[in-house]
Amino acid sequence: MNMHALSDQEFSQFRQLIHDIAGISLSPLKKPLVCGRLAKRLTHHRSGSYGEYFKLLVSGDHPEELQMAVDLLTTNETYFFREPKHFDFLRDKILPSWNRMRTFRVWSAASSSGQEAYSIAMLLAEHLPDAPWEVLASDISSRVLERAAAGIYPLEHASHIPPALLSRYCLKGVGAQEGNLRIAPELRARVRFMQINLNHALPKIGEFDLIWLRNVMIYFDAPTKTQVVGRLLPRLKPDGHLFVGHSESLNGVVGGLRALAPSIYRKSA
C-alpha cells in the first residue's frame, strides 16, 4: 500500500521529466497513474517522498532506475489486430500489388509489448509467403521490449487473432506455460526488436515501405508531434504508407503526405 501522497509540485516535476525524455505530455488527470505506478519504486528505495525519489532519478547515479521509471510511465495497453481496418488495408490494398522481388520493410514505431508487430508479421507471412519481408518493432521501454521478444501472452489475448492465423502462428502453452499462448519461433525470428526513443535523433535503420505510428501521438503536444513525424518521414520510402491511430490526425502537422483514408497516409513520390 502506498503511504505517500504526490503533491502538485512533485507531479509537475515528473511531468517535466517525462516530457523532456519521451516527449509525452501527461495531463493533470494522470496524477493518480504516476502515483500508482511509481509507488513500489519508492518502497524499493525507501524514499520518504516522491520528491526524494525524483532527486534520486535526476542525480545521474542511478541510470537503470531512471529507465525503470520511464518504462513504468510510458507503457500503454495494446492487443492483437487492434484497429483492424489498418490490417484490412495492408492485406487488400498494399500487398496484392507488391513487387515480390523487393523486400517489404515495416516499422512498428511504438510497438509496446509486441502485439502490433506480431500481427503485422502474421499477415506478411500469410500473404508474402515466397517474398522477402522484414518487421522492425521499437519502443522507448526496454522492459516491454523484453516481454515482446519472448512472445508470450495470456491466452485470452487470442480472441482478437483470426482463427486461421492463430492455429498457424501461435502455440498453446502447456505445463508451466498453461494459460498462455506463444508466438511460433519461426515468426518470432522474423521480427527484430530495438529500443528507440522517437523524441531523439533516430539510429540508422534504413527506409521503410510502411510505418505504423499508432496511439502514441495522443500523448504528444503539437510541437513534439511535428518533430516526431518530421524525424520519421525521411525513413518512409516515396509512395510508402504511414498509419496513425484512428483517434489521431496528421492534418497540418507536416507536408509531403496525402490522406488516403482516416488515419492512413501515403508519402509523395
Q: In which order are the strands placed within the sheet that holds 236-244?
A: 191-195, 133-139, 104-108, 208-213, 236-244, 264-267, 257-261
172: its cell numbers: 498453446
Among 37, 82, 91, 266, the one annotated catalytic: 37
Strand, coil or helix: what is 15?
A: helix
Of the candidates 50, 228, 74, 186, which has an alpha carbon nearest to the alpha carbon of residue 140?
74
Furthest CA-CA distance within the chain: 61
Give burial (CB, 10 Å; 0-12/13-18/19+) of 189.
exposed
Decide if 140 contacts 151 (C-beta within 8 A).
Answer: no
Looking at the structure, tell me whether residues 221 and 197 fall in a common domain. Answer: yes
Backbone φ and ψ for 109, nearest 5 degrees, come out as -85, -15
Q: How many CB atoms lie within 10 A of CB 107?
A: 29
Nearest residue to 182 via CA among 141, 148, 138: 148
Would 248 be classed as within a structural domain?
Answer: yes
21 domain-assigned: yes
Share the mean pLDDT of the chain: 91
pLDDT at residue 1 above 50?
no
pLDDT at 2 over 80: no
- Whole-angstrom Cα distance, residue 23 to residue 219? 8
Residue 250 grid coordinates: 496528421
Long-range pairs for 165-173: beta carbons < 8 A, 24 or more residues apart: 165/122, 165/123, 165/126, 168/122, 168/126, 169/118, 169/121, 169/122, 169/125
79 in a domain, yes or no?
A: no
- For the ranges 36-40, 93-97, 108-112, 145-149, which has the lowest average pLDDT? 36-40
**266 catalytic residue (yes or no):** no
Amino acid letter, 36: G
% of the chain exceeding 70 in pLDDT: 98
Q: Which domain, by its residues, includes 255?
A: 84-267
* 215 torsion bin: left (phi>0), alpha (psi -120 to 50), beta (else): left
| Whole-number pLDDT of residue 75 | 67
Rounded to an integer, what distance in angstroms lies between the CA atom of residue 100 and that of residue 235? Answer: 21
pTM: 0.84
Q: What is the pLDDT of residues 121-169, one digit of tens each?
A: 999 999 999 999 999 999 998 888 999 999 999 998 889 999 999 999 9
Q: What is the pLDDT of residues 19-59, one digit of tens each?
A: 888 778 888 888 998 898 899 899 899 999 999 999 999 99
Residue 3 covered by a domain:
no
Per-residue pLDDT at 4 exceeds 80: no
Residue 144 lies inside a defined structural domain of this protein: yes
CATH number at residue 152: 3.40.50.150
Grid cell for residue 101: 522481388
Contact criterion met (CB below 8 Å) for 38 and 113? no
Q: What is the CATH number of the domain that holds 55?
A: 1.10.155.10
Is 37 an annotated catalytic residue?
A: yes
Based on the domain organization, do 201 and 140 belong to the same domain? yes
Catalytic residue (one of 139, 188, 209, 214): 139
Q: Is residue 1 part of a domain?
A: no
Number of domains in the chain: 2
